[in-house]
């Protein structure tokens, strides 16, 4: 009799831990950052995917008279990388421009960040 109760308690605890672990896995998803630096290592811009709400922010980090352009791209086997949406930050250093795009689970995405004096940088991510 005692052995049955111990078994039932163990199974109940295991199921409870499984439920908590399963619901907690969505919290592991986080924001994705892409930092663009010049040849001297100075940050000229950044792009952030804010996972909560699927918004994208394009930051201009350097007061140099040039804007920073951030784009969201997805990969399709037939055509390769396809640009879905872009935002140019010409508001000045220390600011960001944002846009929203509903990122779908199961697709491959990447952020592209470009500056006039620095080659573009890329950062892949998925939902």
Please give the model's pTM, rounded to 2 decimal places. Answer: 0.75
Query: Are the C-beta atoms of 30 and 112 separated by less than 8 Å?
Result: no
Residue 61, burial from CB neighbour count under 10 angstroms (0-12, 13-18, 19+): buried
Q: Over the chain, what is the mean pLDDT? A: 82
Q: Are residues 118 and 67 in the same domain?
A: yes
pLDDT range class, residue 7, cuts 50, 70, 90? very low
Q: Are residues 62 and 114 in the same domain?
A: yes
| Separation of alpha carbons 111 and 124, rounded Å | 6
> pLDDT tens digits for 57-108?
999 999 889 999 999 999 999 999 999 999 999 988 999 999 999 999 999 9
Residue 5 is given by DSSP the state H
Owning domain of residue 97: 31-125
When divided into structural domains, the chain yields a total of: 2
Q: Are residues 67 and 116 in the same domain?
A: yes
- The pLDDT value given to residue 29: 58
Mean pLDDT lowest among 3-12, 30-39, 64-73: 3-12
Q: Are residues 81 and 22 in the same domain?
A: no
Q: Are residues 23 and 67 in the same domain?
A: no
| Separation of alpha carbons 55 and 4, rounded Å | 52
The CA distances from residue 82 to 79, 108, 112, 123, in Å, are 7, 11, 11, 14
Q: Which residues contact 13 (CB under 8 A, 6 or more apart)?
A: none
């Amino acid at each position: 009799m005692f052995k049955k109760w111990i078994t039932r308690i163990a199974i109940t605890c295991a199921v409870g831990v499984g439920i908590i672990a399963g619901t907690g896995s969505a919290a592991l998803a986080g924001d994705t950052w892409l930092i663009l630096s010049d040849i001297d290592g100075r940050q000229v811009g950044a792009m952030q995917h804010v996972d909560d709400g699927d918004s994208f922010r394009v930051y201009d980090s350097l007061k140099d008279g040039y804007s920073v352009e951030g784009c969201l791209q997805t990969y399709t086997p037939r055509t390769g990388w396809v640009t879905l949406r872009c935002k140019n930050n010409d508001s000045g250093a220390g600011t960001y421009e944002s846009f929203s795009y509903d990122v779908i689970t199961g697709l491959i995405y990447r952020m592209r960040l470009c500056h006039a004096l620095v080659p573009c940088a890329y950062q892949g991510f998925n939902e």
